[in-house]
A and B are shown apart, each in its own frame.
Chain A
Amino acid sequence: MSTDIRTARFQAVAWPHLATVVRAARILCGNAAEAEDLAQETMIKAYRGIDGFADGTDIKAWLLTILRRTRIDRVRATSNTAGQVSIEASGIDPPEPDKWQTDDEAWRENPQAILNSFSDQQVIDALQKLPEDIRLTLLLVDVEQLDHREAATILDVPVGTIKSRTHRGRAMLRQALLPLARDLRFIRDDPNRREG
Chain B
Amino acid sequence: MNTNDEQNPLDQATAARLHRLSTMPVDTSALERTLRAAISPPSKRSMWRAWPARAIAASLLIASLVLAVMLTASSGSVLASPAQMAQMHEDLVSGRLPSMQADSVEAANKMLAAQSPASPQVPSLPPEHVMACCMQSVKNKKVACVLLKEGMEGIPVSMMVANASDMRLPVAPTRTFNGETYYVQSSGLLNMVMMKREGRWVCLIGQVAVERMMELAGKLRF
Contact = CB atoms under 8 A, between A and B. Distances in A.
Contacts of A167: 1, 3, 5, 8, 11
B47 A107 contact: no
Nearest to A44: B38
Interface string A50-89: 0000000000000000000000000000000000000000
B115 interface: no
B10 A111 contact: yes
Interface stretch (B124-132, B141-149, B159-167, B204-212): B204-212
A123 B34 contact: no
Contacts of B15: 141-142, 170
B194 to A, nearest CB: 15
Nearest to B26: A22
Interface in A101-149: 101, 104, 107-108, 111-113, 115-121, 123-124, 138, 141-145
Given A97-B1, A142-B14, A120 B32 contact: no
Interface residues of A, number: 51
Contacts of A93: none
A39 interface: yes
A174 B209 contact: no
A182 to B, nearest CB: 13
A1 interface: no
A29 interface: no
Contact of A112 (B13, B44, B188): B13
B94 interface: no
B192 to A, nearest CB: 10
A109 to B, nearest CB: 11
Contact of B18 (A19, A22, A123): A123
Given A11-B51, A26-B26, A117-B184, A111 B32 contact: no
25 contacts: A11-B47, A11-B48, A11-B51, A18-B32, A19-B28, A20-B22, A22-B28, A23-B22, A27-B21, A40-B31, A40-B38, A43-B31, A44-B39, A47-B39, A100-B1, A101-B1, A112-B13, A112-B16, A113-B173, A116-B173, A117-B184, A142-B15, A170-B18, A184-B210, A184-B211
